[in-house]
């Protein structure tokens, strides 16, 4: 039973890691700053939260939530039935100790809880990680107490209420350690030369076939002089690429923790998810961003374009990402330390490594908790 002395805050969001992990980081920062706050996560039975939330320290409720089915609209009957059941479940969940606020972190798993909060007079807050706000954020921004942005550019695409705060405080990430290894030390840990030009390739936990195929062909044709690669293929694709390991190539299914790879890297080649970009900026790593073309509302392309406009990255559409373009880009940046330094500085200027703590502080102050 929840103690009446505790202050409950519902977190609603998920479906993907980009909508769940920011909520977890904010919740941990809230508890650290105000131990009387009790986060409770509301998510979907079919999302990533099904696997992640049981491993955390937080209470959670998984509901039969569904997205809007645009391509198969007859399935939206499931969406409606699931929403009705979820509404009743949230009402029951709130009965012994109503939440002080509902914080939505995006995705289809957030909508019903935010709508419930509006109907019951519970303040709502939103975190939008991407430069192009998602459907949930756009739908609920006008009545929110605060909208926290990962990309400041998202503000131009939002209609908010007269009393809504819009705060570009960044994406909550694990910040770089205050005392990190030097690049040379990090490279020794990887068994790479101190003076190598290290390219970090990451396609996400599941990997990115389009990136892996190009990087695989590139490493087999022969890397440019002095170039080394740390390459995370994704767990499901690792078997096809582990044979590419060599004196200057390190192949891993997954990098966890990833800090030692970041510490060694001169350049990153990645997708353009908001959390990935936030981490690269926090570490000051120049990047080649290759957005996932099928991402919802093409939000990764918007993220990549915004980051390129800031000077921190180069945007490469997947259709243009070839062995030739990758090789040319790596050679160009290897031989141009001035440009790399400019990109490094631009990345650090966009970085918000303390985003989780800053957002938590704002939540506590705004709600008087």
Q: List pLDDT tens digits, range 238-258.
A: 889 999 999 999 999 988 789
pLDDT, position 294? 85
CATH (residue range 7-173+354-367): 3.40.50.2000
Percent over 70 (pLDDT), the chain? 98
pLDDT, position 26? 96
Per the prediction, the chain carries an average pLDDT of 92
Residue 280: HSE in the Cβ half-sphere, 13 Å Cα cutoff: 34
Give the pair of three-digit tokens for residue 99.
Answer: 């939440």
pLDDT band at 3; cut points 50, 70, 90: very low
Q: Taking the domains of the chain in order of start, what are their residue ranges? A: 7-173+354-367, 183-350
DSSP 240: G
- Select from 334, 271, 30, 253 the least CA-distant residue to 279: 271
Residues 145-177 have pLDDT tens digits of 999 999 999 999 999 989 999 999 999 998 898
Residues 314-358 have pLDDT tens digits of 999 999 999 999 999 999 999 999 999 999 999 999 999 999 999
pTM of the model: 0.90
- Contact by Cβ (8 Å): 59, 27: no
Helix or strand (DSSP H, E) at 200: strand 197-202
3-class secondary structure for 308-358? HHHCCEEECCHHHCCHHHHHHHHHHHHCCHHHHHHHHHHHHHHCCCCHHHH
pLDDT band at 206; cut points 50, 70, 90: low
DSSP string, 31-42: HHH-TTEEEEEE
Report the pLDDT averaged over residues 184-188: 92
Residues 32-84 have pLDDT tens digits of 999 999 999 999 988 888 999 999 999 999 998 777 777 788 777 877 787 88
Measured from the Cβ of residue 72, the count of other Cβ atoms closer than 10 Å reads 7
pLDDT band at 1; cut points 50, 70, 90: very low
Helix (H, G, I), strand (E, B) or coil at 134: coil
* Residue 100 pLDDT exceeds 90: yes
* Residue 205 pLDDT exceeds 70: no
CATH of 183-350, one of 3.40.50.2000, 1.10.1040.10, 3.30.460.10, 1.10.287.90: 3.40.50.2000
Q: What are phi and psi of 59, to 5 degrees?
A: -70, 150
């Amino acid at each position: 039973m929840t103690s009446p002395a505790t202050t409950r805050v519902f977190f609603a969001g998920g479906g993907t890691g980009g909508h769940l992990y920011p909520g977890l980081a904010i919740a941990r920062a809230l508890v650290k700053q105000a131990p009387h706050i009790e986060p409770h996560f509301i998510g979907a039975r079919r999302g990533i939260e099904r696997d992640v939330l049981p491993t955390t320290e937080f209470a959670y409720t998984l509901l039969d939530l569904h997205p809007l089915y645009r391509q198969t609209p007859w399935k939206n009957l499931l969406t409606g039935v699931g929403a009705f059941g979820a509404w009743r479940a949230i009402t029951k969940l709130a009965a012994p100790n109503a939440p002080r606020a509902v914080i939505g972190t995006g995705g289809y798993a957030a909508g019903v809880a935010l709508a419930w909060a509006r109907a019951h007079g519970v303040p709502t807050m939103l975190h939008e990680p991407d430069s192009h706000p998602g459907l949930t954020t756009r739908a609920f921004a006008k009545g929110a107490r605060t909208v926290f942005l990962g990309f400041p550019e998202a503000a131009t695409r939002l209609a908010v209420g007269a009393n809504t705060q819009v705060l570009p405080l960044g994406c909550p990430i694990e910040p770089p350690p205050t005392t990190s290894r030097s690049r040379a030390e990090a490279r020794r840990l990887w068994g790479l030369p101190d003076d190598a030009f290290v390219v970090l390739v990451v396609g996400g936990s599941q990997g990115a076939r389009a990136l892996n195929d190009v990087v695989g062909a590139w490493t087999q044709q022969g890397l440019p002089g002095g170039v080394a690669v740390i390459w995370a293929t994704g767990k499901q694709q690792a078997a096809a690429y582990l044979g590419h390991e060599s004196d200057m190539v390190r192949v891993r299914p997954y990098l966890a923790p990833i800090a030692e790879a970041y510490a060694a890297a001169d350049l990153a080649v990645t997708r353009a998810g908001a959390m990935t970009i936030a981490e690269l900026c926090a570490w000051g790593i120049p990047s080649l961003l290759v957005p996932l073309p099928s991402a919802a509302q093409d939000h990764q392309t918007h993220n990549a374009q915004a980051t390129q406009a800031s000077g921190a990255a180069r945007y490469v559409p997947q259709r243009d990402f070839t062995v030739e373009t990758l090789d040319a880009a790596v050679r160009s940046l290897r031989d141009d330390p001035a440009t790399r330094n400019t990109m490094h500085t631009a990345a650090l200027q966009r970085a918000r490594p303390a985003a989780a703590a800053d957002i938590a502080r704002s939540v506590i102050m705004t709600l008087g908790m």
